[in-house]
């Protein structure tokens, strides 16, 4: 019996090492794809303060119904400026089951929101709608950012919007 253990030990160690590696890979990929406990944390008020040059309070958070049939529910984060003067910033974010689901859902929604301009290099997919709101997808996260009122749309306005979209994309990767 002792000799059987010695003969089988390398095989057993190999099986244990393989199992440990598989568990570590599964756990790390599950954690990397996990939605944050607070969806609004992907766009903190301090980032709005920095990008928009105005003080914003913590967001008012509310649930959003699924935007597509059989979709996931999302979160709306509404950031009001300190002092109450415009603009108000709205972030709506959904974490779909997979990047493929998010891509399909964003494409389906684009038929409703009529993209006017594609903004490459910010996230996996980003476009502006006719109201100059951002619609984006990064991995399995779909999000919408709206500054209202937007005022006159200028290259500086677009830069602020794209900076916010890029910030969220980096946080949900």
**How far is Cα 145 from Cα 160, in angstroms, rounded to an integer?**
11
- 127 strand-pairing partners: 118, 135
Q: What is the pLDDT of residue 96?
A: 97
Residue 52 near residue 42, CB atoms below 8 Å: no
Query: Whole-angstrom Cα distance, residue 72 to residue 84?
Result: 32
Mean pLDDT by 10 residues, the chain (173 residues): 52 42 38 78 96 95 95 97 90 97 96 92 96 96 96 92 96 93
- What pLDDT was estimated at residue 30? 42
Domain 39-172, CATH number (from 3.40.50.1950, 3.30.420.40, 3.40.1000.70, 3.10.520.10)? 3.40.1000.70
Instruction: Tell me the DSSP string of 106-144.
Output: HHHHHHHH---EE-TTSSSEEEE-TTS-EEEEETTEEEE
- Domain extents in the chain: 1-32, 39-172
Residue 173 is classified by DSSP as -
Q: Are 96 and 39 in contact (CB under 8 A)?
A: no
CA dihedral 148, 127, 140, 147 (to 10 degrees): -10
Determine the 3-state secondary structure of 148 from DSSP. Answer: strand
Burial 77-91 (b: 16+ CB within 10 A, else e): bebbbeeeeebbbbb
Say what the pLDDT of residue 21 is: 37
Give the burial class of 126: count Cβ atoms within 10 A of its Cβ; 0-12 exposed, 13-18 middle, 19 or more buried. buried
User: What is the C-alpha separation between 50 and 153, in angstroms, rounded?
Assistant: 19
């Amino acid at each position: 019996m002792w000799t059987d253990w010695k003969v089988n030990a390398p095989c057993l160690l190999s099986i244990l090492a393989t199992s440990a590696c598989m568990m570590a890979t599964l756990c790390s990929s599950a954690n990397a794809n996990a939605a944050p406990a607070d969806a609004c944390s992907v766009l903190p008020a301090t980032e709005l303060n920095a990008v928009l040059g105005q003080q914003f309070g913590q967001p008012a958070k509310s649930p959003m119904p699924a935007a597509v049939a059989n979709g996931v529910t999302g979160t709306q984060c509404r950031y009001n400026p300190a002092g109450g003067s415009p603009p108000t910033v709205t972030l709506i974010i959904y974490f779909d089951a997979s990047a493929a689901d998010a891509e399909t859902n964003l494409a389906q929604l684009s038929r409703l929101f009529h993209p006017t301009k594609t903004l490459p290099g910010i996230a996996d997919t980003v476009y502006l709608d006719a109201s100059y709101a951002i619609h984006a997808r990064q991995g399995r996260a779909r999000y919408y950012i709206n500054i209202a009122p937007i005022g006159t749309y200028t290259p500086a306005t677009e830069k602020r919007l794209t900076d916010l979209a890029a910030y969220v994309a980096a946080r949900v990767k």
